[in-house]
Structure 1
Amino acid sequence: MTIRYPRPLRPGDTIGVTAPSSGVEPPLHRRLLHAADVVRAKGYDVRVGETPTRGGIVSAPADVRAAELSAMLTDPGVRAVVPPWGGELATDLLGRLDWEAFAADPTWLVGFSDTSTLQLPLTLRTGVATLHGQNLMDTPYDVPAGVLGWWDVAASAQPGEALVQRSPRRFRSHGWDDYENEPEVSTWTLDAEGSWLRLDGVDPAAPVDVQGRLVGGCLETVSLLAGTPFGDVRAFAAEHAPEGLVVYLDVLEWEALEVGRALWAMRHAGWFDAASAVLVSRTHAPDSDGFTQHDAVRDALGDLDIPLLAEVECGHLPPYLALVNGALARVQHGPEESVITQRLVP
């Protein structure tokens, strides 16, 4: 089976907004509405469902969230679905979705954090590409040079076209903006410097140049899929990825020991059997009594004899690279620059 890509976005297409995990509390509704207006300004219609404006741990009961997401992903008039952000319990929906129905006429499913709990199974189970990129609430931000927005990728995703992104080697070291008082904030202050780092025991200056099909998401959620019907990376690699895999992981908040244990579970479930490289995000997550986040990666994966790259812009610290699950990626890294080139090939 080959990878299938939703068609590129066209002016006038409808973008659906639903909250399959957490919704948006009333004090932040102005940011939600502004973000929707920014998408409209890019030339698209926007359809906001019932769930995004409901706050709390979850935006609605699981059946309601599943129904609204399913309606948007199967509506031929909706060409991308972009949740406001992630949350905690998208796992509620896993057994309530008709995955094959989503593959009939694929729609872009966009976002990161808990949204990846749904994106990754959609790609693994059906071969439909999904887009790990900015959430709707992040869409108003100007992306730095070398980085693509989800809207850029979804609109320019012509078959075989090269989508090139470069690490700006700068990032935001502090927390979230105050959306309640500054709902239209549009600039990320990238106040810290930092480049990708090799953790595989090779000379840190030695160049990396590998390729493989991209798969990944938020470690705290996708690691729970390992060993279940929703996280069979080994089967996906056998069916879709003769080129191998590039596995990317976003570490949000788990301490280093929790990360290490999760990586071991994923390893034993076959997640890295076909990996050409593993990319791990930059994170503010804590260490564990001197056992660092980098130690966790080395401990679990250090003997795989493949490049292990940390501090990659695939996590919760801005900026965010737009990565297409299922795309064929070339990863190049050296002292001067770090580049990911994606090709949307079957």
Structure 2
Amino acid sequence: MIKYPFLEKGMTIGVTAPSSGVPSELHELLNSALKSMEKKGFHIECGDTPWTQDKAKSAFAKKRAEEFNDMMLNEDVNLIIPPWGGELLIETLEHIDFKNIQNKWVLGYSDISLLLLAITLNTGIATAHGTNLIDLRGDYSDDTTAMWQSVLSTKTGGSILQHSSKKYQKEWQFDKPTPHIFNLTENTYWKSTANHKVKVRGRLLGGCIDTIRHLIGTPYGDVQYFKNNYIAGDSVIWFLENCELSTTDLRRTLIQMKLAGWFNNCNGIVFGRSSANTPVANYTVDNVYKELSDELQIPIIYDIDCGHVPPQITFINGAFAEIEVDNGKGTVLQTFN
């Protein structure tokens, strides 16, 4: 049985950096994000790690883990949001106190998704794959990003519906800041390998494929244990997004996931938009999706609102979902049961 945290207005957000912290020259971004959350009515409990960054990490592994563990056990902290992702969260896993994970939301994406998936697989507690803290620093959020608060405020037994965005951001334009952070210029169009209306149902699991793939073969990535203990044989929908992989590296990773049994009893896979997916020779990402769909005999939906090409829908690891795409538009209905 999945356990779902619940977010209420006025709760306290714990800010810690289990992956990358914010270098001094960008501290204004973090300060702006903290002030923005306070304006939304939240209280802030900020650790030391968000303010430091050296050698591709906020601090050494034990310090990052200890700060996260402390916030998890702190009864005054109700929700944990790292400033953003990074590169080396995996160093902290052996120091995370998984036996004492509390029923409180952890929200993030990119390298943070490694921790999110590990928490859900090992504890059955739902985690939230969505916006990071830095991207909540604007005066207001676009409709897609803003849904994070409604999703995390859904009660156990309740459902929440999200829609595909109208437009997405093609590239980051830091020299052209806007009150809503993202520069949404390109028309969103969800696709599928079936080229017709597609609907898939199942339990959500996923994250940034660059990083969650490193859970395979470790004690923190036992998907079968999760299925046996928390979802009573329900099928799974994997949501994945590619940050930096070429098409051949993506293909190798998907094959590894298949051989490890991660795609057993899988009803469908959805992929986020990506600025990576670099073709190797004439091997394109469309080839990757088609081959995987044919091999697994399941639909593949892609170019959805998930990951490093914002905005993104808030996906809940462990929730039961119905994902539908028709004529470029999509919906994600999540039920917290």
**TM-score bin (small chain):** over 0.9
Contact 1:133/1:149 (<8 A) preserved:
no
CA distance in 2, matches of 1:135, 1:310: 22
1:263 aligns to 2:254 (yes or no): yes
| Equivalent of residue 44 in structure 1, options 35, 42, 45 | 42
For 1:258-311, what per-residue CA distance to the aligned partner results, in whole angstroms no more than 9, with x for missing partners? 000000001111111121110111101022122112222333443211111110
> What's 1:298 paired with?
290
Q: Quick one: percent identity of the two aligned structures?
A: 33
> What's 1:341 paired with?
333
Question: Where do 5+ consecutive residues of structure 2 fail to align?
Answer: none
> What's 1:192 paired with?
186
Q: How does 1:268-279 map to 2 (within 5 A)?
A: 268-279=259-270
Runs of 4+ in 1 over 4 A off after TM superposition: none
Letter in 2 for 1:281: G
Q: Secondary structure at the match of 1:59?
A: coil
For 1:106-149, what per-residue CA distance to the aligned partner results, in whole angstroms no more than 9, with x for missing partners? 11111000001111010001100000010000113444335543
| Equivalent of residue 309 in structure 2, options 298, 310, 317 | 317
For 1:27-57, what per-residue CA distance to the aligned partner results, in whole angstroms no more than 9, with x for missing partners? 2111101101111111110111100010231
Work out the number of aligned pairs and report it: 333
CA distance in 2, matches of 1:302, 1:229: 30
Letter in 2 for 1:98: D
Q: How does 1:1-346 map to 2 (within 5 A)?
A: 2-6=1-5, 8-56=6-54, 57-102=56-101, 105-141=102-138, 142-145=140-143, 148-154=146-152, 156-175=153-172, 177-178=174-175, 185-199=179-193, 202=194, 204-205=195-196, 207-241=197-231, 242-285=233-276, 286-335=278-327, 337-345=329-337
Q: Secondary structure at the match of 1:3?
A: coil
Contact 1:143/1:319 (<8 A) preserved:
no
Letter in 2 for 1:115: I
CA distance in 1, matches of 2:242, 2:270: 11
Letter in 1 for 2:199: D
CA distance in 2, matches of 1:320, 1:118: 19
Q: Secondary structure at the match of 2:44?
A: strand
Q: 1:11 to 1:148 in 2, by over 3 A?
A: closer
CA distance in 1, matches of 2:20, 2:147: 22
Contact 1:87/1:113 (<8 A) preserved:
yes
Contact 2:207/2:240 (<8 A) preserved:
yes
Letter in 2 for 1:18: T
Q: Secondary structure at the match of 1:247?
A: strand
Q: Secondary structure at the match of 1:212?
A: strand
Letter in 1 for 2:304: V
Contact 2:142/2:180 (<8 A) preserved:
no
RMSD across aligned positions (CA):
1.7
Q: 1:122 to 1:331 in 2, by over 3 A?
A: same
Letter in 2 for 1:28: L
The TM-score, its normalising length taken from structure 2, stands at 0.94
Contact 2:268/2:298 (<8 A) preserved:
yes
Q: CA deviation at 1:233?
A: 1.7
Contact 2:144/2:311 (<8 A) preserved:
no
Q: Secondary structure at the match of 2:143?
A: coil
